[in-house]
Amino acid sequence: MNNTPHATRQRHPVARFLLGNLLPGLALLLLMGYGVRFLGAGLRNTSHVTGWILLGTLFLLTLHGPRKKLTVLPLGAMHLWTGLHLLTGFVVIPLFAFHVGKWIPNGFLDTLLTLCFWLVALSGVVGFLLYRGVPKRLTRRGVEVILERIPGEREAIRREVEQAVITLAATTGSTTLAEFHACRLHPFLSKPCNIHEHLLDLHRSRFTLVNEIKGLERYLDAREMAVLRRIETLVLRKDDLDHHCTLQGLLKAWLLVHLPLTSGLWILVIWHMLNVLGFQG
């Protein structure tokens, strides 16, 4: 019989996602929708109300980036900020659609603003999916390495394998490993490889190369076998580095898209707000 209290049981990730983000977002959206409808019944300008709410929501979304960098300040736990970011993200998309009122608004500025918003929203959804999946995949492939250090570690592996093969050929006179290095190892160790497989979480090329390495065992003596085992370890390490480089590079590329789009959106939002206030005045 399981005596674990219900409160301490771990919820399924989907349940945590629904309870922590989606359902509160829907509740907040319904509450705002009711408030806007109430204002509309009072013959107030609901577009101005939704516009100011939308501006505050965008501001909350933008605060998530600076908060991640200000780790030393007592601004609350990061997971709470992330939850708030997701909650606000769920709210801002239908809120923007309600504020605009149609797919293609009138005027060049409003059309450009709408297009920029949907691009930011789309990149935000992509980023959410990436940050939900990529870190888990990275932890399955060895200790995480800083992206900027990967080229240096990859070069160190290439030099070590090359030196081991040269030394072995000079001392034993055997060319088996030297020929295999020239045909298979040198092309693999000299540059990032199998990027598409790392993106799709495939391992066919990795297993193929390892099987080829193991296939050499029948032709080697004990001393060569020791070198071969070390080479196999370094080859696997290099493949792990390529995996980390590909996925970390993907996250960095996403930021290089999302952040400029967000900056452009804010420029257009401020421009739009000044125009609205100017006409209102």
Residue where a domain terminates, one of 62, 84, 101 = 101
Same domain, 8 and 92: yes
pTM of the predicted model as reported, rounded to 2 decimal places: 0.76
Angstrom CA distances, 2 to 6, 141, 187, 261, stand at 10, 34, 56, 51
Tens digit of each residue's pLDDT (9 = 90 or more) over 16-39: 544 455 555 555 555 555 555 555
Could you give the percent of the chain with pLDDT greater than 70?
76
> Rounded mean pLDDT of the chain?
82
Same domain, 1 and 57: yes
Helices (H), the chain: 13-17, 23-41, 46-69, 78-100, 108-139, 150-172, 176-180, 186-189, 195-200, 204-215, 222-280
Q: Give the range of the structural domain holding residue 77, as residue numbers without chain letter.
A: 1-101
Same domain, 216 and 262: yes
- Which range (134-143, 165-174, 183-192, 211-220) has the least confidence? 134-143
Tens digit of each residue's pLDDT (9 = 90 or more) over 68-99: 666 656 666 666 767 777 778 777 888 888 77
Same domain, 59 and 192: no
Q: What's the distance, CA 35 to chain centroid?
A: 36
The DSSP line for 137-172 is HHHTSSS---GGGHHHHHHHHHHHHHHHHHHHHHHH
- ∠ CA 235-239-241, rounded to 5°: 115
pLDDT for residue 63: 82
Same domain, 188 and 96: no
pLDDT for residue 74: 63
Instruction: Give the model's confidence band at 160: pLDDT under 50 very low, under 70 low, under 90 confident, else very high.
Output: very high
Same domain, 122 and 186: yes
pLDDT for residue 14: 43
Same domain, 91 and 122: no
Same domain, 78 and 115: no
Query: Is the pLDDT at 120 greater than 70, yes or no?
Result: yes
Tens digit of each residue's pLDDT (9 = 90 or more) over 207-235: 999 999 999 999 999 999 999 999 999 99
pLDDT for residue 274: 87
Instruction: Give the model's confidence band at 180: pLDDT under 50 very low, under 70 low, under 90 confident, else very high.
Output: very high
Could you give the percent of the chain with pLDDT greater than 90?
49
Same domain, 200 and 119: yes
pLDDT for residue 199: 94
- Which range (14-18, 27-31, 126-130, 237-241) has the least confidence? 14-18
pLDDT for residue 258: 92
109 CB contacts (<8 Å, ≥6 apart)? Answer: 268, 271, 272, 275
pLDDT for residue 4: 46
pLDDT: is 96 or 4 the higher one? 96
Residue where a domain terminates, one of 48, 69, 101 = 101
pLDDT: is 21 or 198 the higher one? 198
Residue where a domain terminates, one of 101, 120, 152 = 101
State the Cα torsion 196-199-204-207 to the nearest 10°. 120
Over residues 127-142, the mean pLDDT reads 88
Query: Is the pLDDT at 60 greater than 90, yes or no?
Result: no
Same domain, 92 and 133: no
Widest distance between CA atoms in the chain: 94
Same domain, 116 and 90: no
Q: How many structural domains compose the chain?
A: 2
Alpha carbon distance 93, 114 (integer Å): 11
Could you tell me which of 90, 82, 97 has the C-alpha nearest to residue 50?
A: 97
Instruction: Give the model's confidence band at 1: pLDDT under 50 very low, under 70 low, under 90 confident, else very high.
Output: very low
Q: SS3 of 88, please?
A: helix
Same domain, 267 and 165: yes
Q: Is 45 left (phi over 0), alpha (psi -120 to 50) or beta?
A: beta
